């Protein structure tokens, strides 16, 4: 499993909004400058996140984006599922129902299912607030 730049940048953008949430709506160009990410690429990511009710938007001079909820209500797993889709270690687990012709006789299926659970439990256990707190303490445990 590999997380694309879309998933990584979405996480960075949401972290930036979380860090600047006291400033009201934040212009996308400011996020792009602070994070060193193309504004055009962030606009593509914004389109995904707006449809998921993660963001509030405002148009006009003081417009921009801000989180719709507090940072402790956003998990890394939730963000990555929106930007990456399902995060499964093997293709036969991509669909809700495993349609693989070998599923009933596959000796390794339980390994891949277990790996998927461990990864998602880990990612769902980390919130934006956790990352901000860790970063502020100078720790490097979460590296995106």
- pTM across the whole model: 0.87
pLDDT in tens, 63-118: 899 999 999 999 999 999 999 988 888 888 888 888 888 888 899 999 999 999 99
What angle (nearest 5°) sits at the alpha carbon of residue 124, between those of residues 114 and 66?
Answer: 155
Tokens standing for 67? 């989180």
Tokens standing for 88? 């499964």
Domain boundaries, the chain: 5-136
CA separation for the pair 66, 28 (Å, rounded) = 10
CATH code given to domain 5-136: 1.10.10.10
Q: For 47-53, what is the mean pLDDT?
A: 87
pLDDT in tens, 9-43: 999 999 999 999 999 999 999 999 999 999 999 99
Is residue 142 pLDDT above 80, yes or no? Answer: no
Q: What is the pLDDT of residue 139?
A: 61
> Residue written as tokens 């093997």?
90
Residues paired with 58 in a beta bridge? 64
CA separation for the pair 101, 36 (Å, rounded) = 45
Q: What is the pLDDT of residue 141?
A: 47
Q: What is the pLDDT of residue 9?
A: 97
Q: What is the pLDDT of residue 35?
A: 93
């Amino acid at each position: 499993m590999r997380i694309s730049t879309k998933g990584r940048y979405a996480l960075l953008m949401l972290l930036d909004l979380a860090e600047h949430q006291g400033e009201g709506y934040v212009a996308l160009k400011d996020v792009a400058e602070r994070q060193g990410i193309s504004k055009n690429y962030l606009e593509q990511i914004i389109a995904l996140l707006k449809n998921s009710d993660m963001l509030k938007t405002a148009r006009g001079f003081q417009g921009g984006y801000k989180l719709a909820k507090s940072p402790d209500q956003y998990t890394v797993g939730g963000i990555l599922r929106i930007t990456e889709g399902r995060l499964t270690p093997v293709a036969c687990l991509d669909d809700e129902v495993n349609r693989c012709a070998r599923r009933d006789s596959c000796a390794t299926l339980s390994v891949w299912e277990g790996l998927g659970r461990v990864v998602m439990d880990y990612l769902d256990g980390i919130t934006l607030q956790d990352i901000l707190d860790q970063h502020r303490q100078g720790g490097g445990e979460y590296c995106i």
